[in-house]
């Protein structure tokens, strides 16, 4: 199986250079991922902002009172978790959840749409610049290096985690010594197999054993 990992790495590197030459840095796919992540941030921000606004003006309290009235108050505290205060907090969340979903969707759509407009405006001059051979070569080289850096970072991180888990006995009890034995054993088999296959490869083994992140992940794990 080790040769498959080497083959995948070679194919990924070829794809990195192909996409770098085809799209350059200005048309890099990472910006679409970044756009999506920022849009998720906009969704969370819109929901949080609406919660603060409704709480400030007392709308949330009025709405939660209706939910509390529907379910009824807790007459006796049922332990430390289920008290009247906890019950009211849960009712506030239930009262707000519809608005949270609505404004999260609106925040995501608006943020994604605005970023799309900004990227489109910025891409016009960049696409025109790619008509010039010198800039296209520079943009392609930057795109290849950028993609290669991302691929290298992800590969080193994955290899570092596997190496860190297998450098001690951690891979035998990822869920802890008192965790589910069957699940722990299954994880152990997977991690041990990954360790053997990665380290056996010519390319992957070289990267795996000389990974600069090995010590970092070993200390973390």
| pLDDT at residue number 93 | 64
- State how far the Cα of 36 lies from the Cα of 42, in Å rounded to an integer: 10
| pLDDT at residue number 170 | 62
Given a cut of 70, the residues of the chain with pLDDT beneath it are 1-2, 58-96, 169-185, 187, 221
Helices (H) and strands (E) in the chain, counts: 8, 0
- State how far the Cα of 34 lies from the Cα of 24, in Å rounded to an integer: 16
**Strand, coil or helix: 120:** helix
| pLDDT at residue number 76 | 45
Give me the residue label for tokens 């007459």. 75
Give the contacts of 65 (CB within 8 A, at least 6 positions apart): none
| pLDDT at residue number 55 | 73
- State how far the Cα of 34 lies from the Cα of 154, in Å rounded to an integer: 16
A 10 A CB-CB count for 4 gives 11
* Structure-block tokens of residue 81: 């978790």
| pLDDT at residue number 57 | 72
- State how far the Cα of 214 lies from the Cα of 165, in Å rounded to an integer: 10
* Cβ pair 146, 198 in contact under 8 A: no
- State how far the Cα of 152 lies from the Cα of 145, in Å rounded to an integer: 10
A 10 A CB-CB count for 59 gives 15
| pLDDT at residue number 79 | 47
């Amino acid at each position: 199986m080790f040769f498959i990992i080497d083959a995948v790495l070679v194919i990924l590197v070829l794809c990195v250079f192909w996409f770098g030459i085809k799209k350059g840095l200005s048309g890099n796919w990472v910006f679409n991922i970044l756009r999506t992540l920022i849009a998720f941030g906009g969704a969370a921000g819109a929901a949080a902002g609406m919660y603060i606004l409704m709480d400030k003006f007392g709308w949330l309290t009025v709405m939660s009172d209706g939910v509390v009235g529907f379910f009824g108050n807790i007459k006796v505290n049922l332990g430390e978790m289920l008290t009247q205060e906890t019950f009211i907090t849960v009712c506030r969340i239930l009262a707000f959840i519809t608005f949270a979903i609505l404004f999260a969707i609106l925040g995501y759509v608006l943020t994604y749409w605005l970023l799309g407009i900004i990227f489109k405006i910025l891409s016009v001059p960049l696409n025109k610049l790619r008509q010039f051979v010198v800039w296209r070569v520079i943009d392609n080289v930057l795109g290849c290096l950028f993609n290669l850096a991302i691929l290298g970072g992800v590969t080193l991180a994955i290899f570092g985690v596997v190496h860190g888990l297998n450098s001690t006995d951690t891979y035998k009890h990822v869920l802890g010594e008192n965790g589910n034995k069957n699940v722990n054993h299954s994880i152990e088999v997977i991690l041990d197999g990954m360790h053997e296959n990665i380290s056996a490869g010519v390319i992957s083994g070289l990267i795996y054993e000389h990974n600069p992140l090995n010590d970092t992940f070993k200390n973390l794990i």
